[in-house]
């Protein structure tokens, strides 16, 4: 099911019913993202999910190499979705897209990835 998000969202933690402007953050990592990067990525995505409606993760220059990183992405995607937002993954390789579909179902992938 495809859900269309309203461009004005209420972010959890604000006053109930108070609308805040749509805010998008972009993250463009480079290289192999493995277990050693999971905590840093998780902390960064946790911070972004608290202030952004959409976080766009551009994997054009990066590859996923580890379930801990994918788990951090799924946690951020779930948190964003709970607040009416999304983790949008773009430029994922075919391999990374398959991993994300299987292990991070709350992340939204572009049709190319």
Give the separation between CA 74 and CA 97, rounded to whole angstroms: 13
1 part of a folded domain = no
> How much is the pTM?
0.78
26 part of a folded domain = yes
Write b or e for each residue in 40-52: b if 16 or more Cβ atoms lie within 10 A of its Cβ, otherwise e: ebbebbeebbeeb
Q: How many domains does the chain have?
A: 1
**CATH code of the domain containing 30:** 3.30.750.24
| Percent of the chain clearing pLDDT 90 (strictly above) | 59
Nearest to 47 by CA among 14, 82, 76: 76
Domain that holds residue 61: 8-109
CB distance 38 to 69 below 8 Å = yes
25 part of a folded domain = yes
Q: What is the mean pLDDT of residues 50-76?
A: 93
What pLDDT is recorded for position 49? Answer: 85
Count the neighbouring beta carbons within 10 Å of the beta carbon of residue 69. Answer: 27
């Amino acid at each position: 099911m495809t859900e269309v998000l309203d461009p004005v969202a209420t972010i959890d933690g604000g006053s109930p019913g108070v609308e805040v402007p749509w805010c998008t953050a972009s993250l463009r990592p480079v290289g192999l993202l493995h277990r050693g990067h999971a905590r840093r990525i998780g902390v960064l995505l946790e911070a972004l999910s608290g202030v952004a409606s959409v976080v766009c993760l551009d994997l054009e220059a990066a590859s996923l190499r580890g379930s801990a990183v994918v788990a951090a992405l799924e946690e951020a995607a779930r948190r964003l979705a709970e607040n009416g937002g999304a983790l949008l993954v773009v430029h994922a390789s075919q391999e990374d897209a398959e991993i994300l579909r299987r292990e991070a179902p709350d992340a939204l992938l572009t049709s190319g990835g």
